[in-house]
Amino acid sequence: MLVVDVVFLAAGIYLTSPWLVCVGAFFLCLAICRSFTDSESDRSLAYLALLPLLTIRPPLQWDLDVIHWLQTKTTQVASQLLNHFGFLHLREGNILEFSGKRFLVEEACSGVQSLFTLLFLASLIVCGYRRTWLHSGLVLLSAGCLAGLLNVIRVASISMAWFSYEVDLSTGWQHDTIGYVALVVAALLVFSTDALMNFLLSPVPDFPRAGVASRFYNPFTAIWNWLFLVMPRISFVTKETTADGLFSHRVQVAVAGCVCIGALVAQWQVF
């Protein structure tokens, strides 16, 4: 990974590409995180590299394509929802037109801001609880789906308020309040999804056998637990050794955190 980092740095300098330099910085963070081990689960701290990864902008301006796609899809789904409940209107592109009012679903209203916020929150959850890669992928996917769902409901509720009571909630503090409420609800649903995944993907013990090694006796049970569970490491060390290990673990986490923060600052200065 250090070699890959050097290659990206050299390519970034040669091509004058800040994006390649940021990718190289990510591989450096990943190499540092993988070089340390979590004292509780006996796994590497590679999951911490997910946080600086979210700050790297996709290449070829794919983020702009995603924003435009979200803008169009949000307008289409909100329009279908309004038609289903009998709120007659006319949709022209990203504009919802009612009698005496036109609502433009702008790029900021497409849910992209809440999407990035919820993805960062989901990353904090999976890093804090040390979720497996498959569990983490499901939580991140749910964060993206919830961001789109709550934003469609927000656009539809603003349109319904105007159609029913002629109350304009598209500007001012009312619009901001609806956005923050939707974001809080979506954040709580992300926590709920993580708890649901933790319940559904709980470990499967091997009852015919007794002892710590029982849950790894059946090969299918071992595969299930390896995919969906981060097993705590069982240690028989003394109290003094445990204290030293705890201090070392804190130092490792602090170093990894400083590297992540440094990557964020470097990315912010570049862009």
Which pLDDT score is estimated for 80? 92
Residue 81 lies in a domain: yes
List beta partners, residue 101: 98
- Please indicate, yes or no, whether residues 91 and 193 belong to a single structural domain of this protein: yes
Give residue 36's domain range: 1-42+237-271
57-88: pLDDT as tens digits: 888 888 888 888 888 888 899 999 999 998 98
Total domains in the fold of the chain:
2
103-135: pLDDT as tens digits: 888 755 555 678 888 999 999 999 888 888 888
Boundary residue ending a domain (201, 219, 246): 201
- Please indicate, yes or no, whether residues 18 and 94 belong to a single structural domain of this protein: no
Length of the chain: 271
The candidate with the shortest Cα–Cα distance to 191, out of 133, 148, 128, 242, is 128
Amino acid at 131: R
β-pairing, 95-98 vs 90-92, is: antiparallel
Buried b (16+ CB within 10 A) or exposed e, 189-226: bbeebbeebeeebeebebeeeeeeeebeebeebeebbe
Outline where DSSP puts E strands in 48-149.
90-92, 95-98, 101-104
- Please indicate, yes or no, whether residues 172 and 271 belong to a single structural domain of this protein: no
- Please indicate, yes or no, whether residues 87 and 189 belong to a single structural domain of this protein: yes
Residue 84 lies in a domain: yes
Cα–Cα distance measured from residue 63 to residue 109, given in angstroms and rounded to the nearest whole number: 15
Residue 225 lies in a domain: no
3-55: pLDDT as tens digits: 999 999 999 999 999 999 999 999 999 999 888 887 776 778 888 888 888 88
